[in-house]
Structure formats: structure tokens, C-alpha cells
Structure 1
Amino acid sequence: MKELKHLNKYFKKYWLKLLVGILITIIARIFSLVLPSYVNKSIQAVEDFLSETISLTDAKELLLQYILIIIGTALLSGLFTYWMRQTIINVSRYIEYDLKNEVFDHYQLLSLNFYKKHRIGDLMNRISEDVNEVRMYAGPAIMYGIQTLTLFAFLIPLMFIKAPTLASYTLLPLPILSVLIYQISKVIHKRSTKVQEFLSNLSTFTQESFSGISVIKAYSIEPRINAELRDLANEGKDTSMALARVNAWFFPLMILLIGISNIFVIYIGGRQYINGEIESVGIIAEFILYVNMLTWPVAIVGWLTSIIQRAEASQKRINEFLNFEPSIQNNVIKPSPIHGDIEFKNVTFTYEDTNITALNNVSFKVKAGETVAILGKTGAGKSTILDLVARLYDPTSGEVLVDGVPVQHLNLDSLRGAIGAVPQDAFLFSDTIQNNIRFGNENASFDEIVKVAKQAVVHKNIEGFAKKYDTILGERGITLSGGQKQRVSIARALLKDPKIYLFDDCLSAVDTETEEEILNNLKKVSASKTTLIVSHRVSSAKNADKIIVMDNGKIIQEGTHEELNNMEGYYKELYMNQLSGKES
């Protein structure tokens, strides 16, 4: 159970509720032990009347008294059982809530490299299915475990006090049961881990299939996807059935061994009564009730073992991700003021997952308030520059400085809070258009949202929808066209009103006329902002204060539009090609 030690901090957090729950559980079990002894006394009262030891009136009074005690203790036991569930089960829900938040918060701290190596379906399964398995340990397992221990602690000594020989025979099957449970639990642990791994694979497969449904339909590969799912489902069935077959041994074994105990009670108890070793047949009835009271606790041992083994396997999978140290750490607690000066000093960056060197000894400066365009072929390293400014990655060598300070020495939240980034592949949430734009500034008014939508030249499109700004977008903004998604993302960045704008080819899906209008608006809005524009179009770059041309991770040209257009090279060739294409 070493993996489950991670939950100890939550048990300490809710120790008072747990302590109250445990005390209530013990009290509830103690009250339940009253029933068998008073059943025995009731039978003895009847026997005393039949043997004429007591009168009918006395027998009736005793029976009424015992029945009232039995009913009263049963009601009290039920009441305390209700309170027990309201404390311990509620604590398990609190722990589930806290653990999910812990996992989710940690997910948000992890770097982009982590997400390149792990699938979304697996991440989702660990925060849902695995956490739910752990919750069963943190609540029901504790509750029923305490019940079982309490019953054993009070009931077994009581049985030996009342009839030592009968108790010995009655409890004889229990050691055999414990050995069997130990052996079976080891198998359950291994197979539970396999089941959880399969659920991760299934979540990943279905998530990718639904996200890529347009591609699946376009290529007409539904039969192949169905066949793959069928194979995956069969694998899951085999894995789950392997676990179910082991679990299936528990309850039959419990019932068998409890049945043997009942036989011992009747046979041994009957002989002792005949031989005069026990005074009343009521003790046999009392022990049969004791055995039946032990039936569920003994049976629950197997269930608890299964829960704990599954929780251990799930917590191990959760801990694997919680133990991942984010490669990007916030090294400064105090907020850092950001003005917008950016400098790259001999920066080299190699992607860990592909070992591709995206930047090779790159150096340049951007003054606060300047607009710099970055052009180059696909794979030249343009987007990597923006990622390093936002500190989504740290450079392999060299330094990225903002306001003369290495980004590692700035408060991470302050740095990213001062940046308005618009990626090429715009991501929108399944929410209203208004809330997607407000994502840039949650306190913004509706008038401010409309203003930035007009600046991003998307207002007219939004007004054309039936519900306008309250239109609910599909997953990843599938309701909108590519150009509309890009413009909504631009509006989101404008609403944030940051110190630094990072535009990553965010007008690639927009026609040239709309692009020109947006660029004119951006020029006004970003007049005092540091702006980096990555583009494949000269039209997006020509009005920048400086243009950087990149190839194979190196800067091959640098200057204004006029300067670069007056020299032979990549920029002039690109400009002439795009100009002739526009004229034709």
C-alpha cells in the first residue's frame, strides 16, 4: 500500500470527520451485538416457562422487555449507521474532489513536452476512472473495514466467553479464508492494473476517433475504425473477464466457509446441549446469529481486498504523473513588472522529443513598442521563437531576455500575463462566442467585446448568427470557419490588452482584403505594444519596424521592408512571387 501513502495528507486534513465517523461506526456495531444475546434470553424465557420455573405473566413481561430492547437497539444501530455514512462517505467525496484538483493543477504545470509524449485519453482516464477507484478506498473501504474490525474485536471474545468449544469450531474456517484471500489478492492487483491500462487505451481511441471524425468520414474508413474498436473491445473483455474470474472466487468461498461454520454450530452445539454442556438451546440460536453477523464482514474482507488492490494500482498510475517534475518552473515568487524589451542572445534550441534543432545560435533585439515580423519557410524556427518568449520552453543554450532579465528569472505568471498570444491553429472552447473572447479578460464588458471583435473584423460574421454573441460553439470551435476562428482568437488577444503580442501566422486562413483591414487595425492598437508577427506573407510583414528572415534555424536576413527589397535574397524573391501572384 506504499502508493496509497499519498492520500495521508488528505486523511490528516479531514481527521476530525474521520475520527467522528470511526467512533460512530464502532457504536453502531456495538448496538448490533445486542440482538443475538436477547434472542437467546427470549428463548431461555420460553424454556423457563415451559419448565414452569417462571409464570406466564413473568414470561410475557420478559419477552416484551427483550423485544423492546431488540427494537430499540436496532433503531439506534440504524441511526448510527446513517450518521456513519454521512461522515466517512462524505470524506471520501471531499478527498476525490481534492485529488482531482491536485491532478488537474499538476497537469496545467507540466510542459508541452509532457503532452507530446502522453495521450489525452490516458490523462482523462487517470483523473476520472483512477481517482474514482481511489475514492472507494478512501470511503467505503475504510467504513466497512472499521465495521469488520470492530465486529471481530467485540464478537469473537464474546463468543469464547459464552461457549469456548463452540466458538472454536465456529471460527475454524476463518484462518483458511485469510490464506485464500491473501493469494487471490496478489492476482487481483496485477489484473486490476491491466484493466485500468486498457481503460486508458479505450479513452484515447474514442477521444481521437471523435475528434477526427471529419477525417474518418472524408476517407470513408468507418469500417476500419469499427474493426479496430471491436478488437480493442475484445481485448478489454478478455482483460475484464480475467479479473472477474478471480473476483468470482470470493463470495462462493465465503458462503461455503460460513455454511460450514453454521453446520458446526448446529452439530457441535446440539451435542453439547444433549450432553448438558450448555444450559439452553438459545445459545445455539445466538451463535447462528453470530455466524450470520460474521457472514458479511468475512465476505467483505475479499471485497475490501479487491478495492484496496485496485486503488493501489490506480494511485500508482496517478502518482506516475504527479511525480513528473515540470521542466518549466516558476523560479520567482514576487511579481515581475514587464515593459516589453525582448532580446535573444546566441539562442539554440533542440526539441527533446524529435531531437530537431529548431534554432541555431540566434541573436536579435526588439525594443518595447516595436513591431517585428518573422518570415521563413516551414520548419525555419519561426514559431519556436514565440514559444521561447512565452517560456513554453527554455532554450537549450543561450539566453532569452525580457527587459534585460533572463525569462527564467521572471515571475512566470507575470510574464505570460503580459503576453497576448494568437496561435496559427486557433483553439476555441465549447462555449459562447462572447465567453471565448472574454477568455482574454474575464472582467470585460460586452461593449469592450464588441469593440475588439470589430477590430478583428469578425463582428459582422457574429451578428449574422441567430444567437449572435451567445452562439454556442462546437468542440474546438468547429462551428466557425478557419478564418473566423483565427479572428475570434485575435479579438481575444486584443481584449487582454497585453504588453507583448505574439501572432503566429494567425491570418493564414483570411483573405487578403480582410487581412489588410485587420493589419491596419492591429497597427493602431499595438502602436505602443511589442509585437512579434510570424507569417508566410510579405503583406503581413512589410509595415513592421523590422523584418527577420529565417532558414534552417538561422537568421539569414534582417532589416526593414525597403532594405530587404533592395537586396537580392529570400525576402525579395518571396515579395516578387507574391506580388505577381496577386496581380495575376
Structure 2
Amino acid sequence: MKALKYLNQYLWKYKWYLILGTIFTIISNLFGIIPAQLVRYALDLVVETLDIYYLFNGAALQTEMYDIFAFSILLYGLLILAMALLKGIFLFLVRQTIIVMSRHIEFALKNDIYQHYQTLPASFFRRHSTGDLMARISEDVSNVRMYVGPALMYGINLIVLFFLVISYMLSVSTKLTLYVLLPLPVLSISVYIVNSMIMKRSQEIQKQLSGLSTYVQEAFSGIRVIKSFVQEKHSFNNFQKEAENFKNKSLSLTKVDAFFYPVIVLLIGLSNILVIFVGGQEIINGNLTPGNITEFILYVNMLTWPVMALGWTTSQIQRAASSQTRINEFLNEKTTLVSTKNIEKPLEGAITFKHVGFTYPDSGIKALHDFDLHVKQGESVAILGTTGSGKSTLAHLLCRLYDPTEGEILIDNIPMKDYDVHAYRRQIGYVPQDVFLFSDSIENNVRFGTTDMPFERIEQAVKDADLYNNIVDFPQGYQTLLGERGITLSGGQKQRLSIARAIARDPKILVLDDCLSAVDTNTENIILNNMKRIMDQRTSVIISHRVSSAKLADRIVVLDEGKIIEQGTHTELMALNKAYKELYEKQLVAEEA
């Protein structure tokens, strides 16, 4: 139950639902116990009245006695029906409190998990698959809801009914009650053994479910690749293997769950036999009446369903504990991207890298080595280099998706770590290498995150990104809905829309991470000419492997294996006759070819 302690805050928040649910449970069980006593009174009345009734056989008094007797039995019957109706009403109220509470907790828990996901750094999402993240916020939370809802409801009902029934049993016959409770130690041992098995198998199921969810998510995201390589059958076979493992693990848990039912039926049957055997002897000795034995049997059978539900309740609690343990693993993760000073001020745009080194925490790959660079306010700098030279890592550091593992980055001569993270990022325009668009309209993708952006700015940004003519050709224009990850658009259109989204925010610092790789040379020239005006009086960092994208920059920096090997203007670097000139000539020949 240690893992489930986290849920106490929600139970306290919705405590009135729980308190009222408990009260309604007690009342409903009282109305369930009273009929057993009415049956005892009715049966004893029949036994006691029959002898007297036959004693007055043929007399006029016999008819009057029959009428009184029949009315009494009818009254008992009506009272039992009334008790059943009242019990049903309060059972309804129990569900309207405890089950409703569980839905509120489910809603709050999902929101808290999602909100916590948003605070975690990019390194967290590199370590964990999307399928695993989805499984914990959906399947695991659903298992937890079963604990705070039905399992808690049945658990409270079992405890309340157990104490009420046992107290009534003891008031009738202590000896008979002790015989009825004899099978309970066997039940306790059975629950303990099965609990251990359930816990272990539940954890295996949740782990397998995460793997299955991850596989399905990847398969659907890469469906075009699967179809292009005619790998549908192979993909299905892999899914079938994952699903088969999940089925086998689920069946193994079901077999354990099934063990409870026959054991409990056996124990309940044994209790009934003991009641009849011992109770019969007590009747013979004159200590009890037949009504008492009937009442006892009804009490034992009242305990049948709650005790049978004990196995299911235990299983749900174990599953919830397993799921909450997995949820807690992520909730205990804390972001390292924190600020102690939380400075919020408009940026001017000066950037300084001081002996910056960076090693990716998940892979251990060192992407930057002793990187020094100063970018003046309003200056544009192009970062060139081959694949794996550390270009995109610089973009991630500038957006503070990561913090340097060595050295520091200054923005306007203030350490980046001193700025409030969100206030800083709002002033950054970032175009990632891997373009991501949302399943929404083109207009909403451009104004993403800025609700008060005027349409004129959206239109101007689209024109600057050379996407205006494409949009007006669409039947629905700016209201055209994009498919998942922008699948409606071509690769070049997606990159240009991503550029429009960045520049529409009017950022103080613009970071372009190889954002023109999917456009042709003509479109690239149009965008670059527009970018000259956009980058005026704005600090810009252009990251690319294409020399043509670097021409409009005030300064060019050439990276190789995380180190600066050359820097200067296009003319200066060409005069050096080294790496930049070699890269320039290779790309020039390729374009001519």
C-alpha cells in the first residue's frame, strides 16, 4: 500500500464523497440485516402458533387465530420488502458518492500527470517511449480508478457488513459464531498467497502492455514506410507476438483470480454445514430456536458475496498498487531546468558561449567540446558542419531544452540559468530540424501558443516563408485542417509553415535548425531574401549543412566533432582555403550537376 499513499491527497480533497459513501454503506447494510431478524421472528411465530392453532381445531377461536397469524406474516413480508427497497435506494446513493469520487480522482490524476510531463526536460522523453508514456496516463490511471472506486466501495462494504453481521451473530449465540468463523484463518492464508502471485503478474502485465502500446504507436506513425516496403505482414506478425505475450500474461493472472471462487464457495459451504450441525444440537438442548438457525444461515449467506468480492477487490488493489508504482516513477522525476532567480525581462539578443561542453545524459555521447562563441545583439551567425558535428545540440542549448554539462551560456551578459525558463523561451523563435505540426488548421499552427495574434501578422509570416500562394490554392485556405504531424502538406511546405510559426511570434532570438533542407534551391533563395528583412535588428542563429543558407549571415562558424575549426565571413573563409572552401566547392559542383 506504500505506492497508493500518493492517492491520499485526492481522497482528502474529495473526503465528503467518501464520508457520505461510508454512511450510506452502513445504512444500506442495516436495512440488509433487519430482514434476517424479521425472518427469525416470523419462523418462530409459525412454530409457536401451529401447536396452539391445532389445539383449537374446530373451534371458532381457530378462525380468529388464523386471521391474526396471516396478518402477522403479511406484515413481516411487507416489512422485508420495505427493507429491500430502502437498501436499494441507499446502494444507489453509495454508487453516486464513491464511484463519482473515483471519476473525479481519475480526472485530477490524469491532469496532474500530463501537467507533470510538460515540466520534464527533453532528456526524459529521449529515455522513454511514447507508448510507455501513454500507457501510464491511460491504462495505469484506469487501474488506479478501479481501486478508489469499485474496490474501495466493496472493501468498505465488506468491513461494515462483517462487523454488523458478527455483532448480531454474537448477540444470538457466541458458540455458533465461533464455529462459523473457523474457516477464516484458511481464507486469510489463501488471500496472502494469492496476493503475492497477483502483484508479480500484474507488474508483468503492465510492462508488457507498455511494450505493446509502444509497438502500435510506432507502427501507425511509420505506416507509410511499412507500406512502401510491403512489410504489412511482417508488422502484423510482430504485433501478434506482442499481443500473444500480453494474452499469456493476462491468462496467468486470470488463473490466479479463478482460484478464489472455489476456495470461498468451499469455505462458505463449510460454514453452513457447521451452522446446521452445531445449531441443530443447540435446538435439541433448548438453547436456540429454529428461527435462530435460519437467521444464522441468512447471515452467513450475506457474507458470501462480500467475501467472494474479497478476491476481486484484492486483485484490483494489487493492480492499482502496481500501476501507481509505475506512475510514481515518472511523478518522482524532477526537471533539472530550474532557475533560482527567475529573471523576467525583455531580451536584447546578445549570446555568449563560455567553454561550453555537452554530453547527452542518455547516450553518453559528447556533442560539444570547449565551445566559445560571442554573438552580438542583432548579429546573424551561421553554424555549418557535417552530420554529427554538434549543430542541433547548439539549437537545443539555446532553447534551453538542455543545460550545458560544462561551461555556461550568457544571454545579455546574464547566465541563462538565471532567467525564468518560460519567460525566456517565449522570446525565442525556433524552427526544429524535425518539423512537427499539430492536427489543427494552418492558421492555428502559425499562431500556436499566442491567442491574441492578429491575422495580419499571420498572413505576413506566411508570405515571408513563401507559403502564401500554396495556402490560397487550398479550398479552405487558412482553415485547412492538417493531418497527424502535418501529413496533408509536402515536406517543403511543412518546413515553410514551421518557419512562419517561428517568425510570427516576433522573437528576439531566431534559431533556424537546418530548416531549408526539404525545399528546392529556388524556394530557398526566395525565403532567404525574405529572411534578410526578418533578421534585421534581430539576433539570428542559422544552423545548416548547406553553404547557400549561410551566405546571408554576418559571420559563419564551421563545426567539426563539436569544435570550432573556422569562423569569419564568406570571403574570409574562402581565402583561408580550408574546410569551408572545400564544403562550398563540393556543394557547388553538386548543384551544377
TM band (smaller chain): over 0.9
1:459 and 2:468 aligned: yes
**Post-superposition offset of 1:583:** 4.5
Partner of 2:171: 161
Structure-1 residue corresponding to 2:213: 203
- CA separation in 1, counterparts of 2:274 and 2:454? 79
Q: Does 1:375 align with 2:384?
A: yes
Counterpart in the other structure of 2:338 = 329
The answer to whether the 8 Å contact 2:557/2:566 transfers is yes
Equivalence for 1:391: 400
CA distance in 1 between counterparts of 2:447 and 2:296 reads 70
Q: Do residues 559 (structure 1) and 584 (structure 2) align?
A: no
Which moves more between the two structures, 499-508 or 97-106? Answer: 97-106
**1:185 aligns to 2:211 (yes or no):** no
Q: CA deviation at 1:453?
A: 1.6
1:430 paired residue number: 439
> Given the superposition, is the C-alpha separation of residues 370 and 440 from structure 1 closer, same or farther in structure 2, using an over 3 Å criterion?
farther
Q: Is the 8 A contact 2:342 2:418 kept in 1?
A: no
Shift of 1:490: 0.9
- 1:300-319 equivalences under 5 Å are 300-319=309-328
Asked if 1:76 is matched to 2:86, the reply is: yes
Equivalent residues in 2 for 1:494-513 (5 A)?
494-513=503-522
Decide whether aligned partners of structure 1 residues 327 and 373 sit closer, same or farther in structure 2, where only a CA change above 3 A counts: same
Q: Give 1:540 shift.
A: 1.5
Give the CA deviation at 1:64: 3.5
Question: Per the alignment, do residues 582 and 180 of structure 1 end up closer, same or farther by CA in structure 2, a change over 3 Å counting?
Answer: closer
Residues 549, 555 of structure 1: 8 Å contact kept = yes
Aligned equivalent of 1:442: 451
Alignment partner of 1:296 out of 292, 302, 305:
305
Q: 2:229 aligns with which of 219, 240, 247?
A: 219
Structure-2 residue corresponding to 1:45: 45
- Match status 1:240 vs 2:250: yes
Structure 2 residue identity aligned to 1:549: V
Are 2:341 and 2:418, in contact at CA under 8 Å, matched by a contact in 1?
Answer: yes
CA shift, 1:80, in A, is 1.6
1:23 to 2:23 alignment: yes
**Structure 1 residue 329 displacement after superposition:** 2.3
Letter in 2 for 1:39: V
For these two proteins, the number of residue pairs brought into alignment is 583
How far off its partner does 1:189 sit?
Answer: 0.7
Equivalent position to 1:231, from 226, 231, 241: 241
- Which residue does 1:124 correspond to in 2? 134
Displacement, 1:447?
4.2
Query: Which position in structure 2 is the counterpart of 1:7?
Result: 7
Residue type of the alignment partner of 2:421: L
Quick one: which amino acid aligns to residue 505 of structure 1?
D
5+ residue gaps, structure 2, are: 54-63
* Letter in structure 1 aligned against 2:256: V
Question: What amino acid is aligned across from residue 183 of structure 1 in structure 2?
Answer: I
Q: Is the 8 A contact 2:343 2:418 kept in 1?
A: no
The reply on whether 1:109 has 2:119 as its aligned counterpart is yes
CA distance in 1, matches of 2:154, 2:328: 26
Which residue does the alignment assign to 1:98? 108
Do 1:441 and 1:495's aligned partners in 2 also have CA atoms closer than 8 Å? no
Change (3 A) 1:52 1:91: same
Match of 2:14, as an amino acid?
Y
Letter in 1 for 2:392: S
Match of 1:471 in 2: 480
**Shift in Å, 1:58:** 2.6
Structure 1: distance between partners of 2:151 and 2:99: 10
Q: Secondary structure at the match of 1:496?
A: coil
How far off its partner does 1:334 sit? 5.3
Distance 1:445 1:285, change over 3 A: farther
CA distances 1:367-403 after superposition (whole Å, capped 9, x unpaired): 2222211111111111111111111111121110111
| Partner of residue 139, structure 1 | 149
Partners of 2:66 and 2:454 in 1: how far apart?
Answer: 86
Which of 530, 533, 540 matches 1:531? 540
Aligned mates of 1:558, 1:41 — CA distance in 2: 102
CA deviation map 1:34-81 (0-9, x unaligned): 111112222233334323379233323333432333222222222221
Between stretches 397-406 and 447-456, larger displacement belongs to: 447-456
Q: Does 1:420 align with 2:429?
A: yes
- Provide the TM-score with structure 1 as the length reference: 0.95
In structure 2, the partner of 1:268 is 278
The unaligned stretches of length 5 or more in structure 1 are none
1:483 aligned to 492, 496, 508, which one?
492
What is the rounded CA distance, in whole Å, between the counterparts of 2:542 and 2:443 in structure 1? 25
CA distance in 1, matches of 2:195, 2:213: 27
1: CA distance, partners of 2:339 / 2:308: 51
Quote how far apart the aligned CAs of 1:144 are: 1.1
Distance 1:43 1:139 in 2: 39
The whole-number CA distance in structure 2 between the counterparts of 1:288 and 1:466 is 76
In structure 2, distance between residues paired with 1:203 and 1:330: 35
Match for residue 259 of structure 1 among 269, 279, 290: 269
Deviation at 1:169, TM superposition (A): 2.6
Deviations 1:99-132 (A, max 9, x none): 2222222222222222222211111111111111
Match of residue 358 from structure 1: 367
User: 515-524 or 436-445, which moves further after superposition?
Assistant: 436-445
* Distance apart, 1:188 and its partner CA: 0.8
- The structure 2 residue matched to 1:542, chosen from 530, 534, 551, is 551
What letter corresponds to residue 6 of structure 1 in structure 2?
Y
Quote the offset at 1:214 in angstroms.
1.9
The CA deviation string for residues 3-53 of structure 1, in whole angstroms up to 9 with x for no partner, is 111112212222222222222222221221111111222223333432337
Instruction: Kindly provide the amino acid, as one letter, of the partner of residue 282 in structure 1.
Output: G
Letter in 1 for 2:148: A
Q: What fraction of aligned residue pairs are identical, expressed as a percent?
A: 50
**For 1:419-478, what per-residue CA distance to the aligned partner results, in whole angstroms no more than 9, with x for missing partners?**
111111101122222222221423324443333222211122223333333333222112
Structure 1 CA distance, aligned partners of 2:236 and 2:435? 30
Contact 1:486–1:509 (8 Å) recurs in 2: yes
Equivalent residues of 1:543, 1:561 under 8 A apart: no
Structure 1 residue 164: deviation in Å? 2.8
Residue 98 (structure 2) pairs with residue 88 (structure 1):
yes
How large is the RMSD of aligned CA atoms in angstroms?
2.0
CA drift at 1:411: 0.6
SS at match of 2:158: helix
Could you give the per-residue CA deviations for residues 495-522 of structure 1, whole angstroms, max 9, x where no partner exists?
A: 2222111110101101111111112222
Q: CA deviation at 1:172?
A: 2.3
Deviation larger for 256-265 or 266-275: 266-275
Segment of structure 1 superposing worse, 404-413 or 22-31:
22-31
- Structure 1 pair 556–99 and aligned structure 2 pair: CA distance change class (3 A): same
Q: Counterpart of 1:399 in 2: which secondary structure? A: strand
1:338 and 1:414 in contact (8 A); partners too:
no
CA contact (8 A) 1:348 1:395 kept: yes
408, 415, 427: which one aligns with 1:406: 415
> Counterparts of 1:523 and 1:18 in 2: how far apart (Å)?
64
TM-score when normalising by structure 2: 0.94
